[in-house]
Amino acid sequence: MASPVVRFRIDFADHAAVGPGKIALLEAVHASGSLSQAARNLGMSYRRAWLLIASLNASFRKPVARAVTGGRGGGGATLTEFGVELITSYRALDRDISSIAARHLRPIVKAVTKASRVKPAVARRSFAHKGI
Amino acid sequence: MASPVVRFRIDFADHAAVGPGKIALLEAVHASGSLSQAARNLGMSYRRAWLLIASLNASFRKPVARAVTGGRGGGGATLTEFGVELITSYRALDRDISSIAARHLRPIVKAVTKASRVKPAVARRSFAHKGI
């Protein structure tokens, strides 16, 4: 029986929200040391990646990332200590949420229909409204 | 200092997802005993409310709600035992998530900028991309 997957975002304030997209971007910057490479890896535009980082930097008193200059073809990006802390806290929360969700939702999970058992007409109706 | 608000949805399977909208609808049906009244209370169309309930009923082996006939102006809706269990499990998970989020995110919450401290230009950029 598959575990339920919980997708979440955190609203810290009206102007400060963090969800899986921003965290994935921070992780990609951390791994590649470059905002443009991180954007490419995630299939998003450089502009969108830049705006997401700018939004994070405006949300908190400490920046999450900063530009690094120097070297040929320089112009990389690196996470600050706070940026790394944000990833770490989010992932720790993610792990705990998965674990308590599995516990709370056990009786519900048992009642999920198998996709193959859903009648085609019902499945069409259901898939048409996926994501609602 | 405000607590972070965690918004979440649960993907049980490709064809079975539950989020705050469906739970609010179930709660409104439970409170009003009527799908059309529940839809009105939530400002959604009857059609949309009906499709959400149909999607839930197709997601699980047990229905979450059923039509009730009888009485003048009859045609109400009532939650099944399973529908009530789904609300209860979701709300219990919600409470636990809020509590562990507050714990995990304490150092992050401390770093959130006060809205009044965000420069107008930055705020405009940030609000334009709210919800990303």
User: How many Å separate Cα A88 from the centre of its chain?
Assistant: 12
CATH 1.10.10.10 given to domain B10-105: yes
- The answer to whether the CB atoms of B6 and A10 lie below 8 A apart is yes
- Nearest chain A Cα to B102, which residue? A93
| Closest by Cα among A32, A39, A37 to A78 | A32
- The answer to whether the CB atoms of A111 and B62 lie below 8 A apart is yes
- The answer to whether the CB atoms of A15 and B129 lie below 8 A apart is no
pLDDT tens, position by position, A71-104 = 555 568 999 999 999 999 999 999 999 999 999 9
CA distance A32 to chain B (A): 22
> Which CA distances in Å does A117 have to A109, A126, B57, B118?
15, 13, 13, 53
Q: Compute the count of residue pairs across chains A and B with CB atoms less than 8 Å apart.
A: 178
Please give the pLDDT value at position A71.
54
Domain ranges of chain B: 10-105
> Do A62 and A80 meet the contact criterion of CB atoms below 8 Å apart?
yes
- Nearest chain A Cα to B122, which residue? A58
pLDDT by position in tens, chain B (length 132) = 578 999 999 999 988 999 999 999 999 999 999 999 999 999 999 999 999 999 999 999 999 999 887 655 556 899 999 999 999 999 999 999 999 999 999 999 999 988 644 444 444 444 444 433
Give Cβ neighbours of residue A29 (< 8 Å, ≥ 6 apart). A35, A38, A53, A65, A77, A78, A79, A83
Please give the pLDDT value at position B3.
85
- Nearest chain B Cα to A6, which residue? B10
User: How many Å separate Cα A104 from the centre of its chain?
Assistant: 23
- pTM for the model stands at 0.79
